[in-house]
Structures are given as structure tokens and as C-alpha cells.
Amino acid sequence: MKQNNSDDAMQLVTSGTGQQFSLVSLNPVTTYQIAVEMCTLDTLCVRGPSAFVTTLSAPPSGQSVPIVDEVTTSNLSISWTEPAHLNGEINRYEILYRRGCQVTFPPVECHVSPTVVGYSGMSTQTVLRNLHPYTRYDFKVKSFNEYGNTESSWETVITRKSAPKYITHFTVSSNSSFVKVAWPSTFDLNSVLTRFELSDRGRVIYAGLNTVYYYRRTGPTVHKFRLTVYTDTGTTRSPVIIYNTRNNQPTTQIVENIGEDMTEIAAASVPFFQRTWFMVVMVIVAMLVMSVVIGVVFRCMWGPRSSRTKIPNQRDDIMMDLSAVPPYRSDELSMHNYSVQSCPVKSPEHRMATSTAHTPWTPYIVVRAT
């Protein structure tokens, strides 16, 4: 027996006295030339006419792994060869791939994605598109003929790194003691994580690798949370989430304008009585009030006492003490120029009251010019 297209000599594959034999380990879809010899006395042999038999088709076998020609952040170019044993006619190839898991720090939960068909056709090369940056992908090639298929083993590749990307909002919740901020799926890292930073009203309150943070409540307030991620290829941040705990039921508001100035946001969230200008004004007012109070106290304790002097309420009269009247000569004092009027006599009750008040009694006369 020999293959029909082979130049080899006929080979003995079996012998015996039986009239039926089975030929095994033949190749699929192969034509064989088969002949029978009859021998006597082990030396006299005669060969009959040859018969040509073609074996049936079978699934292909011997498929090699695909070759990675080029890899980018989102595309993968691969090629492959046909199986070592076609066992028939190949009618299509398929490229299967799945998203695998890779070692990260910190470790993150990962599940291998279902296997999908990335290519189906007769070509021996293709490009897988819309892949995720810095992600492990497993892929293999599968060959089909009319009787079945064969596939290669899995090959692995990691796509190139890219800048981090914001995906969805982080969540904020609270109870009577804490405010919980969680961001397990807020960003696509697309590279190696360096740290997360969580800020409230422009002030960083957490920096690290965790994806959840508990913030102790100090009273009703308005929080302005913003999350920033840092990787070895870049950084990005989330929109501001306003979380108001002043109401009985806390409310959440998302500020989509990522470019908004955090200084303005922080200033808007601080009540007026906690702002710098208000505190400065209050300090100045307090200092002025204290100065006035201290001045009044000192004046009352060490200031001069006013003397009590009773001045008659007579506008045109000149009150003169008799002892203060200068002496005049009789020839110089003309009665027609002056009129003298004595002061009214005080009652005894009035003199007693005056005497009790320790006020000396001085007689006065009223001299009126005429």
C-alpha cells in the first residue's frame, strides 16, 4: 500500500491467511493505492491488480497559535497560519477573544468576560478594535472544514497604557455619625494607579488607594465633594457633588461643569458668619465696644467730682457778694445811677434744708444799673 501521489515503493502493511484485513492510522482525505499478493512456499508470489481508495474528510488538526503583529491602546493586529493537517477543505476561520484579569496594585475584583467572536472569514489576518487600554486579552484562532473544527491554545497580550478617564458619578450617603463616599467604578484607570484624592470645599480630606472613605459628621453643613485620580500616565477628576445635610433628608446635587473654579465653590458653600470678612468686622466692633466700656468704667471710678453751685436764674442781674463790692467814696456813689434791691428772705424750712445739705449761706444784694 502507498499514497497515490507518493513516489515511494509499495509497503507491506499486513500478512496472514485471512481474506479480510483492516487498515488503520490512515490520513483523512487521502487516496491510497492498495494491492494484494498471494504467496506459496514463501518464495513464489503473485500480485493482483491495484485498487485506489480515498479516505473520508475529518476535522482539521494542528492549528498553531496566532501571532501578534501590532498592539495599541485600543487595537490589536494579529495573523495566523492554516492548520498543519487540513483533513479536508477549510471553509472559514474564527478569532475568539475575551477580557482577562491581570495583576494590579491594589488588587481589584476581576471576572473573566465571556468569549466573543472578533473575526470570521477566510483571511489569515485581522484587527481587533475598540479594546480597553492597559487590559489583558486572551485570544485564539479556530479553523473549520465540512467535518468539524480545531482551535489553537490561548495567547495573551496587554494593550498599551492611556490617560485615566472619568466614567460615572461616585456615591454619597450618610447616617447620624458619618458621611460615606464610595467610588469603586468612577474611573477607568487605563494604567497604573498612583493615588486617589477626595476633597471637600477645595480642601483634601483623603489621599490613598482605597475606593471608599468615611467622613465624620460635625453638624449640618453643605459638602462639596470632588474626586481626583492620579496614574503613571496622567490625572483626571470628577464633577463636584454637593451633599447638603442641613435638611432632615440630605440632598445630592451634581455640578457637571468640571472646569468650575473650586475657590468659588468653596466660598459659596461657607455661611456668611464663617467668612473672613465677617470675622474681621466682628473683631473690630468688639474692640470698639470694649474700648467704650473700659473708658466709662475708668471715668466713673477715678474721674473728678463736680461741685454743686446754685446760680440764680436772673439774666440781667449781677449777683455780687457784699464782701466783694469795692469801697466807694460817698461822692462817687450816686444813688440815681444804681438801685439796690435786697434778696428775698428765705423761709426757715428752706434754710434748714440748705443747712442740712452743708451749703454755706451767703447774703447777696442785687445791684441794678439805671
- Are 33 and 51 spatial neighbours (Cβ–Cβ below 8 Å)? yes
Cα–Cα distance for residue pair 340/345, rounded to 1 Å: 15
- Read off φ and ψ for residue 274, nearest 5 degrees: -110, 5
Q: Which residue(s) pair with 364 in the sheet?
A: 321
- Same topology between domain 67-158 and domain 165-270: yes
pLDDT tens figures, 259-268? 444 444 444 4
pLDDT score at 65: 95
Q: Which residues lie below 8 Å from residue 284, measured CB to CB, with a gap of 6+?
A: none
Lowest-confidence pick of 69-73, 119-123, 185-189:
185-189
Q: Which residue has the cell 470678612?
A: 277
In the chain, the amino acid numbered 210 is N
Is 213 in a helix, a strand, or coil? Answer: strand
What CATH fold (topology level) applies to the domain 165-270?
Immunoglobulin-like (2.60.40)
- Integer angstrom CA distances of residue 134 from 166, 210, 258: 16, 20, 25
Q: Which tens digit of pLDDT belongs to each residue from 20-48?
A: 888 888 888 888 888 888 888 767 888 88
Q: Where are the domains of the chain?
A: 1-56, 67-158, 165-270, 318-328+335-369
Q: What value does the mean pLDDT take over residues 135-154?
A: 94
Residues 246, 220: Cα–Cα separation, whole Å = 4
pLDDT at 330 over 60: no
Q: Tell me 61's DSSP state.
A: B
Q: What is the length of the chain?
A: 370
The top-level CATH class assigned to 67-158 is: mainly beta
Residue 126: the pLDDT is 96
Burial class, 2, CB count within 10 angstroms (exposed 0-12 / middle 13-18 / buried 19+): middle
pTM of the model: 0.59
Cell triple for 188? 477607568
Q: What is the pLDDT of residues 55-95, one digit of tens each?
A: 888 899 999 999 999 999 999 999 999 999 888 889 999 99
Mean per-residue pLDDT for 160-184? 92
